[in-house]
Structure 1
């Protein structure tokens, strides 16, 4: 990641999408020092800045008649390859679409009019509508009625969106639509009349021609991979479009080198985004196999390396951990992805490049965010949850983060706050400053983690300096999991030079019932199944508060959280907790110790 003080290079994209480097070091550094959205934008990698500028410069031209005519060319007459889409849809959602109810991004619109541009529709809802991923749900319903409905909706889209308009032709939405149209071609188009198939192929070729011209189109991370999948799909499936396959694969290889970290993690550090990227790469590999094309070694390596990280990020119920905008997802679908990855069932506990740690013993799993937040340009779904963790026992989730509802305006700020994670909040302030358009402004500069394992017991010693600038405080967190998995202990220490209120939050899964002891010194946790657990803390006041669980897409559930509060650091007069830094400055240490232990049958009965 480029810091403010480093010299950067601004890559200016040429019309063919390649990059030439021009040095605007002083200008870029000066502008990047400025606060606000533009300063954060310029801290992104140089190629992303150039791509976004170039796309914004050209975008007004896309709606003009000359550009529209330039998209016409030799049209394909048939689909050479109809890729098999192995991913199951949701028949209940498909039935809703048959009834005229479109349920996307947590919002339901009944018989929206006009269908493709309903006034007041949320941006996430519109994006899902135009992506056509819901064709899979209609396929799950099956029968002629679902097939005709899918065909009618695709035909309606082609009539209403036959030239550039936003957001329908935005690169990531366009790429997903091409992938989904080709993936469901046998379902809704293969048996259609010649006129419909001709119109569909003409529309796909024109959209792919536009996509090839504009990519990367200001996209980065998972979004760019999804757009590239659409271009590669058209290039592999439609005769005469082979040049787009070559261009798509060249861009993909370049992105894999940037996005897939040395340990196999995805650069955005989001379990859900990691899952989407891996699934897209698996589909691209299958498409190349089916079309008789060689699979680039970088693609095969990326799939092989990403699968173990996906296993690291799963809980005992098979679902994902809730970091950086993630949902649980469904365990059987993740199983499908891992099975199709075809890699050896390697397991990882330590992912230092990705910044995640897994502590596993007995039936207990602890997953920890022990890494620095993703750099600008890859922080679209990043949360301020540094050093947060989750705990599950068997298939029961106990301690969680709040999760996320994607594209939901009511939750986009709350779900990203430090308080929405199982970690420490200092001075009612986020450990990373939340910025506009889902970015992070100021993040911890130093996040450290040391792992030690002895006779099945595991220790993590971690720290971050996200509160140093605001309060002059460094947060240290130490976790210990016993070899039996029945004893998880933690110590949160705050080293600094001032007095600030500290709150530790432990969000509970909605299926966990919590009761605070009359003595106020412990909380009994009872999951839906299995043994109970007891939470104790020392160094702060213990209480139970309401919380919210956003871990499943489209669901908002009430839950509780354990809160440990300490009003201030120890006073000088107490003479307790005082240390000195290297130059002799007096520092105050505040320590809060806590433990979560499984209770025996005698105690829980």
Structure 2
């Protein structure tokens, strides 16, 4: 591919990589701390600490703007509980907490009270059923249970209860209302003491502040003050200046925006001003959400984030329908967007996060999402933490980027370290640079990273979006690193470029054995032409909320020697004869 070199647009260095000895020491410390917390949190003295002082009563009704699944609530009233795309027949008077859950994911959603908002939209009947279910939960798990009181369940349960309590109280007795208020206060205090999720310190601080706003009395004021103090400490660390989330997951930014909007509403109901940092973060996240919303109306899927549907995105932006048009790049978050007539490209042009914020990060630098018209054709495997047992899909070959040999440009922790810290991503790219040039003829984008430094190679991805022809040209090069010290014999490494297809897209190999025709739901054809020695169209899974769907992947294959390098060129253009 020829043309003038791109001018600098953004250069995003990785966070400082963690040495293996540091990871081990942190694992030992986290494991020891978790063991101490398990013993202490279940003890009577700790339960007394988080139960005092008692809140006087219930105050506001914080509004969570997330769309509510009305059908889920109706099904539960009819005796069927559906969570995480799984169903459990409990009957109209049944107790799901006394019945084995069909999966761990179902159990987490059950104890998070994810069913609560769907019940409340059904008026007094739904509120009565919700009160009964909360009492069933409290009878068995209200004192302490390691699973039900884990941060994974507790954070969202406290949030849901804080938003629902005032709606539940008209049908509750005085004792039931007092128990609801205490459940909220105890949950918020427990969240402040647990250390199990350092990547969610901001989200938990927001929940604590929302909980305080939903209650009355000195206990409420203390919770609100402490929650807001912690929010102020963390918010500018997690919400980047361009509106990205520090975890680099578009969905994480969306969910954080929902929580901040709930906090803003809760403070307004209590007559408290919203802190300037919170208002600023809401504006930034709203701009970031517009950037990550692609031409098919859904969210881009990177670093463990799912594709949110248009209704969910619209709900998050309802507070600001006429916000400014988002830019074409997010230099702090590390993403670049290219827009042609029908082709839209979103490229991961940053390094994966490190440490606690990498629990859902993927080792897929320079990965692409490509929309043609309104068809999402090129994407990734769609991995998210909901597919918890599929960590291999966080590796390089599970996204639309380059992979070399059997390795990956980073890997998740496993074994003891993962059990102690979570599946942090390690050994990822330490230097990622992007250069962009917008010209009259088109847009140039260069991304270079050192994720393959152990093999003595850098990956350079050059993209050119031709605005006149409305076609995307790509060149993926593996470049020898002059400073690399290679051990052992010189040999060829297989390498490939993967183009993962969305489940709604299909591809067929042409007679020449090189060109691939891709079509989406609109049935418009697009040719992927290339100069790779070997081309294949293979089956591959695509995850949707943790469930695997059948999809495909186009693989362009070649070989590379570390001292020589190699490249493959490709082009995506509309098929005029199909």
> What's the TM-score once normalised by structure 2's chain length?
0.87
Rounded Cα–Cα distance in structure 2 between residues aligned with 1:233 and 1:296: 14
Partner in structure 1 of residue 209 of structure 2: 232
Question: How far off its partner does 1:59 sit?
Answer: 3.6
Find the partner of 1:390 among 369, 373, 386: 369
1:463-502 matches, within 5 Å, as: 463-469=448-454, 471-484=455-468, 486-496=470-480, 498-502=491-495
Other-structure match for 2:110: 129
Over residues 87-143 of structure 1, what are the superposed CA-to-partner deviations in whole Å (9 max), with x where a residue is unaligned? Answer: 331123223433444443454444499844766764433322111122122234x15
| Residue pair 1:357, 1:368 contacting (<8 A) in 2 also | yes
Give the C-alpha shift of residue 308 in structure 1: 1.8
Distance change >3 Å, CA 120–CA 289, structure 1 → 2: closer
Q: Alignment RMSD, CA only?
A: 2.6
Q: Is the 8 A contact 2:375 2:521 kept in 1?
A: yes
**1:242-301 deviations in Å (ceiling 9; x for gaps):** 011111001011111221223221110011111111111121112112211121111111
Q: Is the 8 A contact 1:123 1:407 kept in 2?
A: no
CA positional deviation for 1:83: 2.0
Deviation at 1:74, TM superposition (A): 4.5
Give the equivalent residue in structure 1 for 2:509: 516
What does residue 190 of structure 1 align with?
Answer: 170
**Following the alignment from structure 1 to structure 2, what is the Cα–Cα distance between the partners of residues 160 and 88?**
30
Q: Who is 2:120 aligned against?
A: 139
Determine if contact 1:151/1:189 at 8 Å carries over to the other structure. Answer: no
- 1:314 alignment partner in structure 2: 293
Residue 76 of structure 1 and its aligned partner are, at CA, apart by 3.3
Equivalent residue for 1:323, pick from 261, 278, 302: 302
Check the 8 A contact 2:304/2:362 in 1, yes or no.
yes
Aligned 8 A contact 2:238 2:245 in 1: yes
Distance 1:336 1:414, change over 3 A: same
Q: 1:97 to 1:225 in 2, by over 3 A?
A: farther
1:587 to 541, 559, 563: 563
In structure 1, stretches of 5+ residues that fail to align are 6-31, 43-48, 571-585
Write the distance in 1 (CA, Å) between the matches of 2:77 and 2:441.
54
Within a 5 Å distance, the mapping from 1:66-145 to structure 2 comes to 66-111=45-90, 115-116=96-97, 122-140=103-121, 142-145=122-125
Higher relative contact order (CA 8 A, sep 6+): 2
- Residues 283-294 of structure 1: matches in 2 within 5 Å? 283-294=262-273
What is the aligned partner in structure 1 of residue 419 from structure 2? none
Cα deviation, residue 557, structure 1: 1.8
**Any idea what SS the aligned residue of 2:312 has?**
helix
For structure 2, the residue ranges without an aligned partner over 5 or more in a row are 1-13, 415-421, 481-489
The Cα of 1:172 is off from its aligned counterpart by 5.0
Q: Who is 1:447 aligned against?
A: 432
Task: Specify whether residues 398 and 429 from structure 1 end up closer, same or farther in structure 2 by C-alpha distance, changes over 3 A only.
Answer: same
Is the deviation greater in 489-498 or in 373-382?
Answer: 489-498
Shift of 1:477: 0.7
Aligned partners of 2:88 and 2:101 also within 8 Å: no
Structure 1 residues 128, 378: closer, same or farther in 2, change over 3 A? same
Match of 1:34 among 21, 32, 36: 21
Pairwise CA distance, 1:328: 1.1
Question: Please, which moves more after superposition, 307-316 or 196-205?
Answer: 196-205
Once residues 414 and 109 of structure 1 are traced to their aligned partners in structure 2, the CA distance between those partners, rounded to angstroms, is: 30
Do the aligned partners of residues 462 and 123 (structure 1) sit closer, same or farther apart at CA in structure 2, a change above 3 Å counting?
A: same
- Secondary structure of the corresponding residue to residue 525 of structure 1: strand
CA distance in 2 between partners of 1:34 and 1:85 (Å): 43
In structure 1, C-alpha distance between the alignment counterparts of 2:17 and 2:536, rounded to whole Å: 41
Give aligned pairs, total: 545
Alignment match, 1:24: none
Cα 1:134–1:38, aligned 2, differ >3 Å: closer, same or farther? farther
Out of 407, 414, 419, the position equivalent to 2:397 is 419
Name the SS of the counterpart of 1:564 in structure 2: strand
Query: Judging changes above 3 Å, is the alpha-carbon distance between structure 1 residues 129 and 97 closer, same or farther for their aligned structure 2 residues?
Result: same
